[in-house]
Chain A
Amino acid sequence: MSKESTDKGVAANVAIDARSTERPHAMGATHQHRPPGETGANAGIGISGLTKRYLTPKGETFTAITDVTLSVEPGQFCSIVGPTGCGKSTTLAQVSGLERPSEGSVRVGGHTVEGVTKGVSYMFQADALFPWKSVLNNVMMGPVLLGTPKREATLLARDWLRRVGLAGFEDRYPHQLSGGMRKRVAMAAALINNPRILLMDEPFGALDVQTKAIMQNELLTLWEELRPSVLFITHDLDEAVALSDRVVVMTSSPGTVKDVFDIDLPRPRGDVQQIRHEERFLELQGRIWESLKDEVTRAYARTAGEAA
């Protein structure tokens, strides 16, 4: 509860670290329920020649992304940045298996994605908690749909709510939580199944700066513990560099991969607030911005032109 006082960011970070000391115990409990991934090992993502065309209401085809090729190594944290409307969410939808690519393919752990794949979790851009379910039931959804017995699922969900700092909020409904708390619930719900692949679409986009920093640290700790491969969309270059092993820059619409930057900052990264003052960080961030700048201007000019 005290974690909501976002102005005490440092205190909250300490709290997170304190919690991480008791992890081994909690981890053991988790893994009894569910070994990591269905194939036993973490899986990478291979996207090749991915193109997606939509049919507009007028009956024309609209190319959202064209020939996107990128790969995420097993256990790697990869961010995608790009101007708005360039097709980042579209790319993620293809990886999740919710949509079918028009051309090209997505491979997860060596298997071509055809429909929803086990071991893939998705944190959506829009708020996607079930408003009629309590916080606990929201987090429980993953295990329940996998057929985990209710009692076990409840224990697991309680454990995860504790990990994201929401112990005591089990019986609340989503509308009774703050925006930051809702994001934590979504994060717990995404991680509870111990996914091999974690897709995150601007998960912290709508949060204030302090809460965002807390959540980023929290995500990093959890990621280092579970080590899923992450595909993370953001508009915040600081966030992209601080969290990722690799940053992919996409062009303006129709989106395709423009540049790929490997981030060689050492892990564990520690506090994201601290790291953004390091020289290497600033250098990388500057180079990525160089690459992204033109695309943003172009995208803006295009939509502005359309509107005129």
Chain B
Amino acid sequence: MSALAQGETVTPQRQAAAADAGKAAHRRLTRWIWAGRAILAVAVVGGWQWFTEEGWVDKFFFGQPSEIWNSLVKLFTEGTAFGTIWENLWVTMQEAILGFLLGTLVGVVLGILLGSNKYLSAVVGPYIRIVNSIPRIVLGSIFIVAFGLGVFPKVLLAAVLVFFVVFFNAFQGVREVDQNLVANVRVLGATPVQVAIHVTIPSAMTWIIASLHTAFGFAIIGALVAEVLGAQQGVGLIISQAQGTFDPNTVFACMVIIAVITLGAEYLISLLEHSVLKWRPPNRSESQAI
């Protein structure tokens, strides 16, 4: 390319050739990356299978990939003691999604409110920090004692976990709003509500959406843990049941199912991120991210 800059005539052919070469190099790199990924997966899973097969690692405690696969098949064909896997999955997802929505909603609203009101944030701030520092998983026990074995306590625990992630991000996002933009919109005659709509919320959105990735993971954790603590249905119950019967393979199978779902949710959140934040200049670390 430097030769082009030195005033030589740039023919369209040469440009096209350069572009083709670049594309080919990129394709080669992509192929190598995928090859590396495949090798890594084969090494880990194959190694696991081999070690347990040879008896160097006890498959009674650590499971075995082939057995995990069998458990998966069994979960989907024969179902569980608490109904089909789909029913259980649906219950868990329902809890996680409801908890996610509830926690996000409350987190965003409170975060924006406290972020834009100095007095409120000064009053409530220390308490939120205190609550944040206690191990919130323990709240699950309290919720189950208080609300029984139904769906509601699970939703609540998921929501609590989600809330703090989203809240702190929304709060910080509001704090980071460019005061020039606030001044600009105020000069144009905006009311406080209009300032929030046109400046504060769009500006905090970057932070909020970034937090949603982590938040969905927390929602799943909340739902599962609450189910392990006590439930009538759900993936968490299957896990705790498998634990009781010394069946690590089913536990791993459940983990695989949950991982697939979380990856799917992650993908949806990325789509949302792209459509809501399409105004953002592409940043370098993102465009090079894997």
Q: Which residues of A contact B (CB under 8 A)?
A: 96-98, 116, 118, 120-122, 124, 126-128, 130-134, 141-142, 145-146, 173, 175-176, 193
B198 close to A130 (CB less than 8 A): yes
Nearest 7 interchain pairs by C-beta:
A175-B281, A128-B184, A132-B279, A132-B202, A122-B187, A128-B180, A173-B279
Closest to B189 in A: A145
Cα-based distance from A126 to B279 in the complex (angstroms): 20
B187 close to A121 (CB less than 8 A): yes
In the complex, which residues 155-177 of chain B have their Cβ closer than 8 Å to any Cβ of chain A? Answer: none
Most buried by A among B180, B203, B205: B180
- Rounded to whole Å, the gap between the CB of A174 and the closest CB of chain B is 8
Cα-based distance from A133 to B188 in the complex (angstroms): 16
Q: CB < 8 Å: which of B184, B189, B202 contacts A124?
A: B184
A128 close to B186 (CB less than 8 A): no
- Rounded to whole Å, the gap between the CB of B201 and the closest CB of chain A is 10
Chain B interface size, as a band, is: 20 to 34
Cα-based distance from A118 to B190 in the complex (angstroms): 11
Q: Return chain A residues, CB-CB under 8 Å to B277.
A: 132
Chain B interface, >50% SS class: helix
A145 close to B188 (CB less than 8 A): yes
Known: A122-B184, A145-B194, A173-B279. A130 touches B189 (CB 8 A): no
Q: Return chain B residues, CB-CB under 8 Å to A141.
A: 185, 188, 198
Question: What are 23 A-B interface contacts by the 8 Å CB criterion?
Answer: A96-B187, A97-B187, A98-B186, A116-B187, A120-B187, A126-B180, A128-B181, A128-B183, A130-B181, A130-B184, A130-B198, A131-B280, A132-B279, A132-B280, A141-B185, A141-B188, A141-B198, A145-B188, A145-B189, A146-B188, A146-B189, A175-B280, A176-B281
Q: Judge if B199 is at the interface, Cβ distance under 8 Å.
A: yes
How would residues 174 to 217 of chain B score, 1 for a CB under 8 Å from any chain A CB and 0 otherwise? Answer: 00001011011111111000100011001101000000000000
- Rounded to whole Å, the gap between the CB of B236 and the closest CB of chain A is 40
Cα-based distance from A97 to B189 in the complex (angstroms): 11
Cα-based distance from A122 to B279 in the complex (angstroms): 24
Q: Return chain A residues, CB-CB under 8 Å to B188.
A: 141-142, 145-146, 193
Closest to B278 in A: A173
Q: Return chain A residues, CB-CB under 8 Å to B194.
A: 145
Chain A interface, >50% SS class: loop
B189 close to A98 (CB less than 8 A): no
Q: CB < 8 Å: which of A96, A98, A132, A176 contacts B203?
A: A132
- Rounded to whole Å, the gap between the CB of B227 and the closest CB of chain A is 40
Cα-based distance from A289 to B198 in the complex (angstroms): 43
Cα-based distance from A27 to B48 in the complex (angstroms): 78
- Rounded to whole Å, the gap between the CB of B174 and the closest CB of chain A is 15
Closest to A120 in B: B187
- Rounded to whole Å, the gap between the CB of A179 and the closest CB of chain B is 14
Closest to A133 in B: B279
Q: Return chain A residues, CB-CB under 8 Å to B187.
A: 96-98, 116, 120-122
Cα-based distance from A190 to B51 in the complex (angstroms): 72
Q: Return chain A residues, CB-CB under 8 Å to B203.
A: 132
Most buried by B among A97, A141, A173, A175: A141
Most buried by A among B180, B181, B189, B199: B189
Q: Return chain A residues, CB-CB under 8 Å to B281.
A: 173, 175-176
Closest to B276 in A: A132
Cα-based distance from A107 to B212 in the complex (angstroms): 49
A116 close to B186 (CB less than 8 A): yes
- Rounded to whole Å, the gap between the CB of B95 and the closest CB of chain A is 34
B279 close to A124 (CB less than 8 A): no
